[in-house]
Amino acid sequence: MDDGHVWRKYGQKNICASKFPRSYFRCGHKYDRGCKATRQVQRSEEDPSMFVITYMGQHACVGGSTSPTPPSPCVISFGSNTYTANAAQEKPFPSPIPPSRDEEVPNDSTPWTSPTELIFPDFPVYFDSVSGCHASADSLNLEFNPEALEFGGVFCFGQGEQLHQK
């Protein structure tokens, strides 16, 4: 799926724990701009119509060819079936299905930045340039680049970092 970046497939592997192969992509600007971003795409076992996309690393190819200026980060929180942007702008999310992959969430509050992997059956979320992540037993907070976030191509962040429908 198009997430605004050019990806080149460089490998595919059958994963032992999964019945579907995992595909490996690197940014198309790996060589001309030294971009180290990669992503892994794997079909969900729970719902074969869904794909689990894991982003690794950050793009060095955004915002110009020499010295990209990262936009100010936002924080999105996944907790109690309510999805918020910048904590103050609380909005109900359509058909909210919180991530249930508890085994991938650290059981302490240690910040971690990658990989980022989330599943939203109705509105797949693609994160790019995630700069920080904090997880606890009942919440998950992501710090990300709002310009590079889409909710299944249906919702996006506009001016004032308001989540709105396209």
Partner DNA sequence: GGCATTTGACCGAC
Partner DNA sequence: GTCGGTCAAATGCC
Binding site for DNA (CB under 7 A): 7-13, 15-17, 22-24, 26, 28, 38, 40, 56
Whole-number Å distance between alpha carbons of 133 and 110: 9
Q: Side by side, which strands form the sheet with 21-27?
A: 7-14, 21-27, 38-43, 51-56
**Least Cβ distance, residue 57 to DNA (angstroms):** 8
**Least Cβ distance, residue 82 to DNA (angstroms):** 32
Nearer to DNA, 86 or 114 (CB): 114
**Least Cβ distance, residue 12 to DNA (angstroms):** 4
Nearer to DNA, 90 or 104 (CB): 104
Nearer to DNA, 7 or 120 (CB): 7
Radius of gyration over alpha carbons of the chain, in Å?
Answer: 16
Whole-number Å distance between alpha carbons of 36 and 111: 21
Nearer to DNA, 56 or 156 (CB): 56
**Least Cβ distance, residue 83 to DNA (angstroms):** 28
Question: Can you list the alpha helix ranges (DSSP code H) found in 52-131?
Answer: none
Of the candidates 166, 147, 1, the one whose C-alpha atom is nearest the C-alpha of residue 74 is 147
Whole-number Å distance between alpha carbons of 61 and 24: 19
